[in-house]
Every structure is written in C-alpha cells, then in structure tokens.
Amino acid sequence: MATRSNAVPFLFRPMRGGRLLKHLMLAGFGLLMLYPLLWMISSSLKPEELIFREPGLLPSTLTLENYSAGWNALKHSFGYYLWNSAVITGLSVLANLVACSLAAYAFARLNFPLKKLWFAIMLGSIMLPHHVTVVPQYILFSNLDWINTIWPLVVPKFLATDAFFIFLMVQFIRTLPRELDEAAAIDGAGYWRVFLQVILPLCTPALATTGIFTFIWTWNDFFSQNLYLTNSDNLTVAVALRQFLDSSGESSWGPMFAMSIVSLGPIFGFFLAGQKYLIRGVATTGLK
C-alpha cells in the first residue's frame, strides 16, 4: 500500500489528510469550469430583466417563458430546425457506419495490390485541412444544383470521407483474432458473410464510438451547414441559433439562452449515454 501511494505523481499528492483538500480543489475547479453552462441554464429559467441583476445560480423567480418565446421566435418553430438537424445527423451517422466499416474491413483483412499506398493516402487525408477542398466542392455541388439541399452534407459521408473513422475501425478489427474469420470461412462463409456476421457484431464498440462522434460533430457543425443551407426553410439548429444574434439584436438573451440549451440537449444526452465509448475513442485515437 505504501509503495502504491508513493507512486502517485507528485502533483497534488496528498499529504497526511490532504486527500480531502485535493477533492475540494478538483471539485471547485470542476464547478468553475461548468459555471458558465450552469449560469446559462439558470438564466434561461429567469425572467429577462433578472438575468444580469443576479450572477448567482438559483433563480428567485422560475419561468418557462423564455422557452416558449424562443421556440417561436424565428420563421419556423424551433422543432422544425431540430428535425432538420436530426435528419442530417441521422443520415450522416448511418453513412459513416456503413461506408467506413466497409473500407475498414478491406484495409484490415483483405489483400489487394497497392494496399500500403492506399492506406497511407487514407491516413494522409485525415490530416488534410477541410478548407483546401471546400471551394471546388462548393462549385461542384452548386453545378449539381445541390445548394440548399442536404446532399452536400450527407453524400460525402456515404463516400467515407471521414477517414478518421476508417482508421479507428481498422485498428479495432486488427485486434480481433483471425481464427474467427478462418473458422467462418471453413464453414463456408464468403467475405460478405464474414464481414456481416463475424466482424461487424464484434465491432460494436468501434461502431458506437463512430456513431456517437459523428452525431456530435454533425450536430455541432456550423461551417458546412452555414455554407450550404441558406434558405430560411432549410436551416438546421446550428444555423438557426445564429439568427437569434441577427434578428433579435442584443436584447432577447432569455429566449436565445433557452434555445441554446435545447440545442445542446441531444449532445448532452449522447454524452451521458455513451461516455464509455467517448472516453475510449479519445484515449485511443485522439478524437476531439
């Protein structure tokens, strides 16, 4: 026991009875970190005029007025934008799961000419700044008449352009014993059946990580959605939220905070549900 506690890195190392102090510091720091968020939640429940009078967290008057005002503040109800975001996000998740797992299986298990070269190119494309391709892509999509549709946001994902997830799944599939594939092959399974019935079911953790991160990134994405969705009937949550800053000027903070909270809700939900996969994904591949 003594050696074990000696091995703790020196920082914040508890002195005698210092463990409590350490917890106080960590919790205090955590509270400081989350204070802006908590303040936003609390402000969204306060009547407008109280938001800046009270920097404290506990509202003296509770009201849901901001939520109903915010829900109906823009051209469409906020539910409309939530639905648009949900469609794009849902399709993106599906697309990444399908396209990236297909590619990952080929890289991890099959042999083909120039495999090393293609794999290196795939890795390189992860590091490529998105902005280098965005101008020609925009021209391409606008020639296809795809501006103000969901296709520029979704079709690239069906073509496995989020190579990060291919890499994630390749790494995962490589840890699965090859004997499983071979046993299935001896039983008469072809490549597709090995992929669908042996590899995919065992990949659940990697698929979950991919799904959750795709969800969060797509939901949060502002750059592409703002670029391709300009018609006020097509907006997603991210782009619609920004309209609060334009339309209401600086005065109506309450409704804007309320809808900001609503927009973060799904991310927070996925965070709670998928923490294990999130943490593992970050720790192994450096995803955000």
Q: Which is nearer to other proteins, 10 or 58 (CB)?
A: 10
Whether 209 contacts 168, CB under 8 Å: yes
Residue 90 CB, nearest approach to other proteins (Å): 18
The structure tokens 């291919």 sit at 166
State the number of binding residues for other proteins (CB under 8 A).
103
Q: How far apart are CA 261 and CA 37, in angstroms?
A: 9
Q: Write the binding mask 61 to 100 for other proteins: x where contact by CB under 8 A, - elsewhere.
A: --------------------------------------x-
> DSSP states of 106-135 as a string?
HHHH---TTHHHHHHHHHHHHHS-THHHHH
On whether the CB atoms of residues 242 and 74 are closer than 8 A, the answer is no
Candidate list 21, 120, 140, 273; residue touching other proteins; CB under 8 A: 140
User: Residues near 237 by Cβ (< 8 Å), separated by ≥ 6?
Assistant: 78, 81, 82, 84, 85, 219, 263
CA distance 267 to 171: 26
What is the dihedral angle through the alpha carbons of 208, 31, 288, 130, rounded to the nearest 10 degrees?
A: 130
* End-to-end CA, the chain: 36
Q: Where do runs of H (alpha helix) occur along the chain?
A: 2-6, 18-44, 65-71, 78-109, 115-127, 131-143, 151-158, 163-174, 178-186, 191-193, 200-202, 204-220, 223-228, 237-247, 253-285
**Of these, 154, 173, 206, 287, which contacts other proteins (CB under 8 A)?**
287
What tokens does 218 get?
């797509």
Q: Does 269 bind other proteins (CB under 8 A)?
A: no
Should residue 234 be labelled a site residue for other proteins when binding is judged by CB under 8 A? no
State which of positions 28-47 bind other proteins (CB under 8 A): 29-30, 33-34, 36-37, 39-40
Residue 262: CB minimum distance to other proteins, A: 9
Tracing tokens 């990697």 back to the chain, one arrives at 206
Segment 167-186, which members bind other proteins (CB under 8 A)?
A: 182, 185-186
- Identity of the residue, 62 or 102, whose beta carbon is nearer to other proteins in the bound complex: 102
Is 135 a binding residue for other proteins by CB under 8 A? The answer is yes
> Can you tell me which of 46, 244, 255, 277 binds other proteins, judged by CB under 8 A?
244
Using the rule CB under 8 A, give the single segment among 62-70, 76-84, 198-206, 257-265 that binds other proteins: 257-265
If the CB atoms of residues 62 and 110 are measured against other proteins, the closer one turns out to be 110
Tell me which of 45, 153, 156, 206 binds other proteins, using CB under 8 A: 156
Rule CB under 8 A: say whether 50 interacts with other proteins.
Answer: no
Residue 167 beta carbon to other proteins: minimum distance, rounded to whole angstroms = 12
Task: Select the residue interacting with other proteins from 137, 148, 171, 252 (CB under 8 A).
Answer: 137
Binding mask 10-29 for other proteins (x = CB under 8 A): xxxx--------xx--xx-x
